[in-house]
Amino acid sequence: MKTKKVKGTIGILTGGGDVPGLNPAIRAITIRALREGYRVLGIRRGWAGLMEVIRDPEADNHDNYRELTEDLVNKAGRTGGTFLHTSRTRPSHVPARHVPLHLKDLYNDQINDLTPEVLKNIDFLGIDFLIPIGGDDTLSYSVRMYQEGIKVVAIPKTMDNDVPGTDYCIGFSTCITRTIHMTNLLRTSAGSHERILVMEVFGRYAGFTALLPTMAGAANRCVIPEHVFSIERLCELLIEDRMNNPSKYSVVLVSEGATFEGVDMMFQNTEKDMYGHAKLGGIGDAVSARIKELSPGFNRGQRVETINQHLGYLVRSGDPDAIDSIVPMAYGNLALDLVLKGIHGRLVILKNGRYDNIPVDIVTSTKKLVDVSKHYNTDRLRPVYESFIDKPLFLVG
């Protein structure tokens, strides 16, 4: 009996925050790759799995990678999160405490570049093509891998939808859908108590996750990282919205990276990840507190209470919606199209309603932010939308 010759090995990893749609992407890549005659390795915990491999055939590396089968990915493909697990590991900037035990004698600086180990591990595993799925942080290291000679085909993923070069990143639609849904749920409490509803949503540098739900009617106002707003003006507008609402409530969505005059970006603590980011949190609390404090000045001397809700992981957990089930499937197949043609150093994208691919180094060469002059009214603190002709699906690509 002849054994079918394997064409090559494809490695898949997911890095950064989890979002719905990752498992459908892994499923699409794996099933197509297996049927085309490739072996597929799932790298566990993002770049950490590739960094921590022990290059010994007898070593136990089950925490670092696993061989993927059609049965395995079919079971996971309809679920949220990533069954390969994830981390915010950056092998080029590894603190001493995170250096793998078997490498501590070789790397003992305060910050260490373990890229040489990653390259050796890729060779040890026999990976011919690497498909990383992640946001701009995870994909920035993909650019480094490509520059080092690794055949990379990248897939954009992030709820913030801020990976440059593409109109859409996996996870964004589910995030927007959940934000709208949960805002509508909380309206009943806001209306019952005649309060102002303040909801903090994700968005470190880009305000798409606040702008789009507001555009869809989920909120009266939104504040985004791209514009430093006046808290007094926000309070005035929300009181006005509340007075004009028969149910006597109003709603504002606050991006986690938003700032108002006199207040900088707010963090939960000073600890930073390997990409230099401290965990954001607290701007919603600050906005809520200041609105209560300022409200008598715009409400005939009467204070207005608030409901302060941080959506957090509620918008990134659970199953993907329809778009985050379909787009990952398409992205996975786009990646395999490139692999089969021997093309690498590319990022698969959606642009103007069409699937395509572009050079992966777009990730590190520019930023994707809300164009305030086109899409945000800085006086009214809400989206601007007039003509929709020739606009992308999500309007602010």
Q: What is the pLDDT of residues 78-101, one digit of tens each?
A: 899 999 999 999 999 999 999 999
Average pLDDT over residues 271-292: 81
Structural class in CATH, domain 9-170+321-365: alpha beta
pLDDT band with cut points at 50, 70 and 90 for residue 282: confident
What is the pLDDT, as a whole number, of residue 89? 94
The CATH classification number of 175-313+372-383 equals 3.40.50.460
Average pLDDT over residues 272-292: 81
Residue, of 352 and 26, whose pLDDT is higher: 26
Chain centroid to CA 387: 29
What is the pLDDT, as a whole number, of residue 277? 64
What is the pLDDT, as a whole number, of residue 248? 97
Give per-residue pLDDT as tens, 288-340: 999 999 999 999 999 999 999 999 889 999 999 999 999 999 999 999 999 99
Measured CA to CA, the distance from residue 211 to residue 270 in angstroms comes to: 28
* 8 Å CB contact between 44 and 66: yes
- pLDDT higher than 50, residue 1: no
> Domain extents for the chain?
9-170+321-365, 175-313+372-383
User: How many CB atoms are located within 10 Å of the residue 263 CB?
Assistant: 15
Give per-residue pLDDT as tens, 44-82: 999 999 999 999 999 999 999 999 999 999 999 889 999
Fold matches, 9-170+321-365 and 175-313+372-383: yes
Lowest mean pLDDT among 219-233, 251-265, 268-282, 298-312: 268-282
User: How many CB atoms are located within 10 Å of the residue 32 CB?
Assistant: 20
Measured CA to CA, the distance from residue 224 to residue 212 in angstroms comes to: 11
| Options 128, 160, 167, 324, the catalytic residue | 160
Chain centroid to CA 256: 13
For residue 110, give every residue at least 6 positions away whose Cβ sits within 8 Å of its Cβ, in sequence order, or none. Answer: 95, 96
Q: How far is CA 99 from CA 94, 108, 143, 321, in A?
A: 6, 8, 22, 38
Measured CA to CA, the distance from residue 289 to residue 114 in angstroms comes to: 45
What is the pLDDT, as a whole number, of residue 385? 83
What is the pLDDT, as a whole number, of residue 214? 97
319 is catalytic: no
The 3-class SS string of the chain reads CCCCCCCCEEEEEECCCCCCCHHHHHHHHHHHHHHCCCEEEEECCCHHHHHHCCCCCCCCCCCCEEECCHHHHHHHCCCCCCCCCCCCCCCCCEEHHHCCHHHCCCCCCCEECCHHHHHHHHHHHCCCEEEEEECHHHHHHHHHHHHCCCCEEEEEECCCCCCCCCCCCECHHHHHHHHHHHHHHHHHHHHHHCCEEEEEECCCCCCHHHHHHHHCCCCCEEECCCCCECHHHHHHHHHHHHHHCCCCCEEEEEECCCCECCCCCCEEEEEECCCCCEEECCHHHHHHHHHHHHHHHHCCCCCCCEEEEECHHHHCCCCCCCHHHHHHHHHHHHHHHHHHCCCCCEEEEEECCEEEEEECCHHHHCCCCCCHHHHEECCCCEECCCCCCCCCCCCCC
* 8 Å CB contact between 201 and 253: yes
In b/e form, how buried is each residue of 2-20, taking b as 16+ CB within 10 angstroms? eeeeeeebbbbbbbbbbbb
What is the pLDDT, as a whole number, of residue 202? 92
Q: Is 326 exposed, middle or buried (0-12, 13-18, 19+ CB in 10 A)?
A: middle
Chain centroid to CA 136: 8
Question: For tokens 């985004």, what's the residue?
Answer: 224
Average pLDDT over residues 364-375: 93
Give per-residue pLDDT as tens, 118-131: 999 999 999 999 99
What is the pLDDT, as a whole number, of residue 2? 46
Give per-residue pLDDT as tens, 347-356: 999 998 899 9
Q: Is 103 exposed, middle or buried (0-12, 13-18, 19+ CB in 10 A)?
A: middle
* 8 Å CB contact between 236 and 379: no
